[in-house]
Structure 1
């Protein structure tokens, strides 16, 4: 079993995150006739809470979060191909759920391409489809804020 850890992103992580996202998402962009733009990624990155996922000191992926009064939003969750299907994505979702609970946000939300198999992981983690926009599914998990 691989062990994972988080660390806040630093400016030098931007190119890794951009390249990983492009590599992972380009097939979906092509299939849905969308245009990938490095500049748009960079602008979005600058305004988000970005956390790097490491496995034994090696970058395995990252997630980007944003927040409002209604929810914590996963804007990106990208796992390097060499770390897919070994628990990194599941571990990352668990970390985000814990952050959502700690911050007492009412919900965790994300958007996923309708044909992305990551949807299965999200459903296993308790997120449900709550809407659809063109080629995207909007998913949400309501968070209980009960204190023991």
Structure 2
């Protein structure tokens, strides 16, 4: 993600990250007793917002992201689930495979949502 942040937003700004970071929203991803990533999710007035998913590069393409998001979507199957990504983020294919659609474009930044039968568009 660091390369994507640099390419699209000019770099990583720690102060901006800390401003909105809430440790209560973070779940660690642990495999074989080792931390291999995290997922940050919060509830807001629209539903569920996936703030961030970070996995060790060694796990990319191995189904771990699919499993994490699949569990989240199962837990919130009747709610709107949203996230923000970049147009050229390889994870975008995963999001689309899981039913997320682009709802807004702002340059290279995409806002995506997975609508349930009960969550209105």
Fold shared by both chains (TM-score > 0.5)? yes
- TM-score normalised over the length of structure 2: 0.86
Q: Corresponding residue for 2:89?
A: 116
- TM-score normalised over the length of structure 1: 0.72
Q: What SS does the aligned partner of 2:111 have? A: strand
- Bigger helix share: 1
Aligned length: 118
List per-residue Cα deviations over 1:7-61 (Å, max 9, x = no partner).
xxxxxxxxxxxxxxxxxx2211222242312232233222651111111211121
Q: Corresponding residue for 1:88?
A: 64
Runs of 4+ residues over 6 Å off in structure 1: none
How much has 1:71 moved relative to structure 2?
Answer: 1.7
The change in CA–CA distance for 1:99 and 1:40 in structure 2 (over 3 A counts) is farther
Q: How do residues 100-139 of structure 1 correspond to structure 2 at under 5 angstroms?
A: 100-101=76-77, 104-105=78-79, 107-139=80-112
Q: What SS does the aligned partner of 2:93 have? A: helix
